[in-house]
């Protein structure tokens, strides 16, 4: 599983989050249901949530609100028709203030 | 014997309905301490074994959002009641049932220097190790605190830890000088006929109602203000004449008081207290600076200029500038200007020391502004954490965690932040004026203007800091 946030470097506001998921054989993992949860690295902030759409096989995209500058952690929760489930957290450090 | 205090106060919390009766019962204090002990225990366990994501862990959420915020609110609206409910004292008292401490605190350390060093060390570690973002480290800090209390008060008699060591306590002592309530003798004439001095000596273990006296060496009839008072209420319980109350007073006024204080001496003769007051004020600016965007630009610039890639020397330099060089420079300049303009004959250092206390309300305003921002914007964030804690333990009684709960919008908190800084600034200006009027009764303005300028500069810096976009990063090298 790989994750990319746009714009890069990320800024406060809506961020496009792209997730590429492959199975153990390296083939695109199709038909998954992916949800995103963004948390800041410090307490006291409400997390952001978003669902992803599958754009092409194994390539998912969602829009997540990054509400404050600083370090974020984005957790991807993926489940697939064959029953597989994967959860992974990606650090997104240094989100900049809105320009 | 008495300190020439004014007539009986108008409001006494201990005589207020319900709350007064509750506070007069020793069981209330014990219940409060047990409650905070249980909360601390839950925080430690969750911090060590729970999810290691700061917004989802009780240790980080309660410590850095709720405890700090509630602490300054209670200090602003009432007094040092968090020390009343201190869980560390509960642990200490339990330990002392098994072994009494053999030593007296060393004479050379009977001052605020250990507390000052620990407060600086704590603020430094907070930034360096990003304690706000690390549940396990936060839990370890709580555990270390308990260990330190047990070691210090296991070896040394009385409340040595509270009076000389505890960095939270030193913060509370200084902040509580701006509190509206004070533990104080109700009728000083009643103390004149007292020969047992129970408020300081206590009553012996074999007596009908054994009760310890003030462990912080504050003899009630000669006690002035809230400095060093933990609001433990031992003096209230000990006084056979029921002559100690929690009374209303003018916040900040004690900082002008030049009388000899029981357990402290004269403020103007205590450089350690002046340094603590200065650290309290400039530390507020530094702690706020650590949470906004420009700090990373400054750190990155220092990193480039000094060719250093590790954080601690750069952070150390920032601390040295803001907590040592800047205050020394600004206070010296203000004192030199005031001496010259007003023709003061006093030497420079005593002037700096006396006026440094006038900055405390402004510093408290900045701490309030900062901590209330986190407290109000994250007020309800503990709810889903507690829900999650129960759910993870297989007890989903509180329902699924509702992560939409937060608090006030940041824009709503901003006016309050500014108001608190301005309130602190006004009180500090008032204190500086009173000091100047004491120094130059006929023409206070020349002595006042330099200190007023300093207050305005610090206030403006605080407002600028609060107006910057907030940014919390684990390290300046990230991103």
**Which of B128, B123, B130 lies closest to B310 in space, CA to CA?**
B128
Pair of tokens at residue B433: 């004026």
Strand pairing class (B181-185; A48-51): unpaired
Closest-CA residue of A relative to B294 is: A97
Q: Residue-wise over B302-314: b if at least 16 C-beta within 10 A, else e? A: bbeeeeeeebeeb
Q: Tokens 């007020």 identify what position?
A: B379
Q: Report chain A residues whose CB lies below 8 A from the CB of B53.
A: 39, 73
Q: Which helix (H) or strand (E) holds B116?
A: helix B113-128
Q: A41 and B404: CB-CB below 8 Å?
A: no
Q: Point out the residues of chain B with pLDDT beneath 70.
A: 1-9, 474-479
> Looking at the complex, does the CB of residue A68 fall below 8 Å from at least one CB of chain B?
yes
- In this prediction, residue B1 carries a pLDDT of 44
Tell me the β-bridge partners of B103.
B156
Closest-CA residue of A relative to B379 is: A44
Q: A47 and B132: CB-CB below 8 Å?
A: no
Q: Residue-wise over B435-472: b if at least 16 C-beta within 10 A, else e? A: bbbebbeeebebbbbbbbbbbeebbebbbebbebebbb
Of A46, A71, A73, the CB nearest to B472: A71
Pair of tokens at residue B164: 């000389």
- In this prediction, residue B57 carries a pLDDT of 96
- In this prediction, residue B8 carries a pLDDT of 57
Closest-CA residue of B relative to A38 is: B55
Across the A:B interface, residue pairs with CB atoms under 8 Å apart total 86
Q: Could you tell me how many helices (H) and strands (E) chain A has, helices first?
A: 0, 8
> Looking at the complex, does the CB of residue A24 fall below 8 Å from at least one CB of chain B?
no
Give, in order, the Cα–Cα distances in Å from B79 to each of B64, B97, B187, B286. Answer: 20, 29, 21, 24
**Which of B290, B257, B302 lies closest to B473 in space, CA to CA?**
B290
Pick from B50, B54, B381, B475 the residue to mutate for testing the A interface (most A CBs within 10 Å): B54
Q: Point out the residues of chain A with pLDDT beneath 70.
A: none
Closest-CA residue of A relative to B479 is: A94
In angstroms, what separates the C-alpha of B189 from chain A's closest C-alpha?
51
Q: Report chain A residues whose CB lies below 8 A from the CB of B56.
A: 39
Q: Report chain A residues whose CB lies below 8 A from the CB of B403.
A: 46-47, 49
CB B232 within 8 A of CB B213: no
Pick from B50, B51, B55 the residue to mutate for testing the A interface (most A CBs within 10 Å): B55
- The answer to pTM > 0.80 is yes
C-alpha B127/C-alpha B117 separation (Å) is 16
Q: Report chain B residues whose CB lies below 8 A from the CB of A45.
A: 55, 377-378, 381, 406
C-alpha B238/C-alpha A77 separation (Å) is 60
Q: Indicate the angle between helix axes B410-439 and B326-342, nearest 10 degrees.
A: 40
C-alpha B315/C-alpha B465 separation (Å) is 18
> Looking at the complex, does the CB of residue A81 fall below 8 Å from at least one CB of chain B?
no
Q: Report chain B residues whose CB lies below 8 A from the CB of A96.
A: 293, 479
In angstroms, what separates the C-alpha of B134 from chain A's closest C-alpha?
8
Tell me the β-bridge partners of A51.
A35
3-state secondary structure B300-342: HHHHHHHCCCCHHHHHHHHHHHHHHHHHHHHHHHHHHHHHHHH
The dihedrals phi and psi of A76, each to the nearest 5 degrees, come to: -105, 125
In angstroms, what separates the C-alpha of A44 from chain B's closest C-alpha?
4
Pair of tokens at residue B448: 């006042």
Say how many CA atoms lie within 13 Å of A80 toward its Cβ: 14
C-alpha B130/C-alpha B123 separation (Å) is 10
Q: Report chain A residues whose CB lies below 8 A from the CB of B469.
A: 12, 69, 97-98
- In this prediction, residue B2 carries a pLDDT of 45
Of A39, A49, A69, the CB nearest to B55: A39
Q: Report chain B residues whose CB lies below 8 A from the CB of A73.
A: 53
Of B406, B407, B474, the CB nearest to A41: B474
**Which of B185, B188, B186, B182 lies closest to B2 in space, CA to CA?**
B188
Pick from A10, A36, A44 the residue to mutate for testing the B interface (most B CBs within 10 Å): A44
Q: B55 and A43: CB-CB below 8 Å?
A: yes
Q: Report chain B residues whose CB lies below 8 A from the CB of A7.
A: none
Pair of tokens at residue B61: 């959420």
CB B468 within 8 A of CB B292: yes
CB B249 within 8 A of CB B184: yes
Say how many CA atoms lie within 13 Å of B16 toward its Cβ: 13
Q: Can you say whether residue A83 is alpha, beta or left, with left for phi > 0 and alpha for psi between -120 and 50 degrees?
A: left
Of A42, A47, A68, the CB nearest to B133: A42
> Looking at the complex, does the CB of residue A97 fall below 8 Å from at least one CB of chain B?
yes
Q: A41 and B473: CB-CB below 8 Å?
A: yes
- In this prediction, residue B474 carries a pLDDT of 63
Question: Burial, B10: exposed, middle or buried (Cβ in 10 Å; 0-12, 13-18, 19+)?
Answer: exposed
Tell me the β-bridge partners of B246.
B183
Of B61, B471, B474, the CB nearest to A43: B61
- In this prediction, residue B98 carries a pLDDT of 94
Pairs from B445-453 (Cβ < 8 Å, separation ≥ 24): B446/B338, B446/B341, B446/B342, B446/B343, B447/B338, B447/B341, B447/B342, B447/B344, B448/B338, B449/B337, B449/B338, B449/B341, B450/B333, B450/B334, B450/B335, B450/B337, B450/B338, B450/B341, B451/B334, B451/B338, B451/B355, B451/B358, B453/B334
Of A41, A93, A98, the CB nearest to B54: A41
Q: Tokens 């409340």 identify what position?
A: B159
Q: B132 and A43: CB-CB below 8 Å?
A: yes
Which ipTM score applies to this complex?
0.89
CB A62 within 8 A of CB A20: no
């Amino acid at each position: 599983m790989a994750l990319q946030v746009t714009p890069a470097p990320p800024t406060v506001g809506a961020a496009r989050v792209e997730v590429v998921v492959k199975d153990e054989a390296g083939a695109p993992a199709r038909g998954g249901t992916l949800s995103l949860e963004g948390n800041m690295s410090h307490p006291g902030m409400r997390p952001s949530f978003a669902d992803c759409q599958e754009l092409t096989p194994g390539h998912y995209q969602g829009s997540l609100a990054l509400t404050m500058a600083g370090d974020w952690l984005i957790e991807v929760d993926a489940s697939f028709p064959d029953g597989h489930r994967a959860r992974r957290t990606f650090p997104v450090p240094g989100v900049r203030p809105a320009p | 014997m008495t300190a020439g205090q004014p007539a009986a106060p108008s409001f006494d919390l201990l005589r207020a309905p319900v709350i007064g009766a509750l506070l007069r019962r020793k069981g209330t204090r014990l219940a409060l301490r047990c409650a905070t002990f249980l909360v601390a225990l839950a925080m430690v366990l969750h911090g060590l074994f729970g999810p290691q994501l700061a917004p989802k862990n009780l240790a980080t959420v309660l410590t850095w959002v709720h405890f700090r915020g509630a602490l300054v609110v209670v200090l602003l609206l009432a007094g040092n009641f968090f020390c009343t409910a201190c869980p560390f004292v509960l642990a200490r008292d339990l330990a002392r049932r098994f072994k009494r401490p053999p030593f007296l605190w060393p004479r050379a350390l009977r001052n605020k220097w250990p507390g000052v060093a620990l407060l600086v060390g704590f603020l430094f570690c907070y930034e360096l190790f990003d304690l706000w973002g690390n549940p396990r480290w936060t839990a370890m800090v709580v555990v270390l605190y308990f260990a330190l209390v047990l070691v210090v008060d296991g070896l040394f008699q009385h409340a040595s830890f509270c009076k000389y060591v505890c960095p939270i306590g030193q913060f509370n002592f200084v902040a509580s000088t701006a509190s509206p309530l004070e533990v104080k003798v109700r009728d000083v004439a009643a103390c004149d006929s007292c020969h047992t001095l129970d408020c300081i000596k206590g009553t012996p273990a074999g007596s009908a109602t054994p009760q310890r006296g003030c462990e912080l060496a504050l003899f009630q009839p000669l006690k002035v203000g809230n400095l060093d008072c933990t609001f433990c209420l031992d003096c209230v319980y000990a006084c056979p004449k029921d002559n100690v109350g929690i009374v209303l007073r003018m916040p900040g006024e004690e900082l002008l008081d030049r009388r000899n204080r029981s357990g402290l001496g004269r403020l103007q003769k205590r450089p350690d207290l002046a340094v603590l007051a200065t650290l309290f004020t400039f530390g507020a600016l530094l702690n706020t600076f650590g949470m906004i965007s420009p700090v990373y630009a400054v750190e990155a610039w220092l990193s480039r200029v000094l060719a250093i890639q590790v954080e601690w020397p750069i952070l150390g330099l920032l601390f040295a500038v803001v907590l040592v060089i800047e205050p020394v420079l600004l206070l010296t300049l203000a004192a030199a200007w005031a001496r010259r303009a007003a023709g003061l004959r006093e030497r420079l250092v005593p002037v700096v020391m006396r006026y440094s206390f006038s900055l405390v309300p402004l510093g408290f305003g900045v701490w309030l502004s900062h901590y209330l921002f986190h407290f109000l914007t994250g007020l309800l964030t503990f709810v889903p954490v507690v829900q999650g804690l129960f759910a993870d333990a297989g007890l989903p009684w509180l329902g699924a965690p509702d992560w939409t709960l937060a608090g006030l919008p940041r824009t709503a908190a901003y006016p309050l932040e500014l108001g608190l800084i301005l309130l602190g600034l006004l009180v500090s200006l008032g204190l500086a004026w009173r000091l100047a009027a004491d120094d130059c009764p006929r023409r206070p303005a020349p002595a006042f203007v330099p200190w007023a300028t300093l207050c305005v500069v610090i206030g403006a810096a605080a407002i600028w800091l609060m107006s910057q976009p907030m940014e919390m990063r684990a390290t300046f090298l990230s991103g």
